[in-house]
Amino acid sequence: MQIATLLLALAACLNEASAFSPVAQRAHHMPLVIRRQQTATSSATVVLRMSDSGGGGGGGMEKQKSKKQSLGTALIDKTETQMQEDEVPEEQWRVVLHNDEVHTFNYVIRSLQKVMGTLDKKKAFDICTVTHGQGQATVTTCWKEQAMKYCLGLQRQGLTASIAPESKFEGGGGGGGPESG
């Protein structure tokens, strides 16, 4: 719609400016049809009058020796396609802590608090007991990039951890994370 408005304003300015030109007064006016088409909504047609002076827009008669006048109609079609983006929510990932017989409860609790930063001792202890009893426990659920950071942090502490997409998660240890309680 902005293009059609701009073209109408331009045509009005050119029409007013060419009214004072001796070449424009002699020239025949030919309609210029501009069609704007939108695939999603509707199409609009704008008719503009344009004089064909043949002088390249100079408005003067300096080199106007030819008596031929060529008039034509310009048809401009512009099709705008509107892209629709489907926003797919990013899948949630679980950070899973696996049981090992090497580390003490106190070490695992301190490691969880250090890496996660938001866990208090009670929640970290709950994760430890679920991990010890079931073999694994969900530490937290978050987006993939953050889950990878948490997993690497836990592995740097010497703990066995992994990540799994929420949709394909299989296994026990469904609780204990900061978002779950």
pLDDT per position as a tens digit, 128-178? 999 999 999 999 999 999 999 999 999 999 999 999 998 877 655 555 444
Q: Which two tokens stand for residue 122?
A: 């009670």
pLDDT score of 178: 44
| Strand-pair partners of 43 | 37
CA-to-CA distance for 123 and 130, rounded, in angstroms? 11
Q: Coil, strand or helix: which one is 22?
A: helix
> β-strand 93-98 against 136-142: which pairing, if any?
antiparallel
pTM over 0.75: no
Q: What is the pLDDT of residues 29-84, one digit of tens each?
A: 444 444 444 444 444 555 555 555 555 555 555 555 555 666 767 767 777 777 67
pLDDT above 90 (res 1): no
Sign of CA dihedral 109, 112, 115, 121: negative
